[in-house]
Amino acid sequence: MAFTVKHKRSDEEGRRPRPESLLEGQFAINSNDATPGVFMKTGREKVIKIGPCHVDEVEPPTSFNRSFGKGELWLDITNDTNKLKVWDGQKWRTVS
């Protein structure tokens, strides 16, 4: 017998799930074209982004319960320079 699994989801730009809204290991999806992402709750009560890399001239938005996880990526395409940046837990650092 077939069944459908529907993960928690949103299509609101920049929206992330809150840790208290997920169970450990549970996935959530943002399907907005501008800020898509797949998220998961860890065993340490944090929500991490699994992908994809944010691509834009401006850094990812900090609204809508946005707390970046260490290692998240942003491809800064300002003036076609294409600089890959990584979140170190406090700020975006350019990868050299």
Question: For the segment 2-36, what is each residue's pLDDT rounded down to a tens digit?
Answer: 899 889 999 998 888 999 999 999 999 999 988 89
pLDDT tens digits, one per residue of 26-35: 999 999 988 8
Note the helical H segments in the chain: none
pLDDT in tens, 72-92: 999 999 988 899 999 998 899
Q: What's the whole-model pTM score?
A: 0.76
Q: Among 67, 76, 70, 30, which residue's Cα sits nearest to residue 52?
A: 30
pLDDT at 44 over 70: yes
> 2 to each of 5, 6, 26, 28, 79, how far by Cα in Å?
10, 13, 21, 22, 49
Q: Compute the distance between CA of residue 36 and CA of residue 14 in angstroms, rounded to an integer.
A: 8
